[in-house]
Amino acid sequence: MFCGNCGTQVPEGASTCPNCGAAMAPKSQAQQMNQALQNAGQNLNAAGTKAKDAVKKLDNKQLGMIGAGIVAVIVVIFILKAIFGGSGLKGTYTNGYTTMTFEGSKITFNMMGVEFTAKYKVKKDKIVLDPKSIAFTQEALDYFEDELDMDEDDIQDELDDLVDDMEDDPSASYKYDKKKKVLTMDGIEYYYAENYKVGPNGTYVSDDAEDVTLTFKNGELTYDNDGDDETLSYYCYDDGHDVYVVFYGLEFEDSEFYHTYYTSNFEFDDDEIEINDITFEKE
Terminal Cα distance for the chain, rounded: 96
CATH code, residues 91-192:
2.40.128
Q: Is the dihedral of CA 174, 171, 88, 92 positive or negative?
A: positive
- Rounded to whole angstroms, the Cα distance separating 90 from 80 reads 10
Cβ neighbours, 10 Å, residue 241: 5
Percent of all residues in the chain with a pLDDT value above 90, rounded to a whole number: 44
pLDDT value of residue 114: 81
Listed by start position, the domains of the chain span: 91-192, 202-282
What are the CA-CA distances from residue 63 to residues 55, 67, 280 (Å)? 9, 6, 55
What are the CA-CA distances from residue 93 to residues 48, 109, 144, 195 (Å)? 55, 10, 25, 10
Angle at 64 between CA 60 and CA 70, to 5 degrees: 150
Cβ neighbours, 10 Å, residue 83: 16
Give the phi and the psi of residue 182 in degrees, each rounded to 5: -120, 125
Q: What are the b/e assignments for 115-147, b being 16+ CB within 10 Å?
A: bbbbbbeeeeeebebebeebbbbeebbebbeee
In the DSSP assignment, the letter for residue 146 is H
pLDDT value of residue 205: 95
pLDDT value of residue 4: 53
Give the phi and the psi of residue 120 in degrees, each rounded to 5: -150, 165
Q: Are 44 and 36 in contact (CB under 8 A)?
A: no
- Rounded to whole angstroms, the Cα distance separating 85 from 220 reads 26
Closest to 96 (Cα-Cα) out of 275, 272, 265, 276: 265
Q: Which residues pair with 267 in a beta bridge?
A: 244
The low-confidence residues of the chain, meaning pLDDT below 70, are 1-88
pLDDT value of residue 81: 37
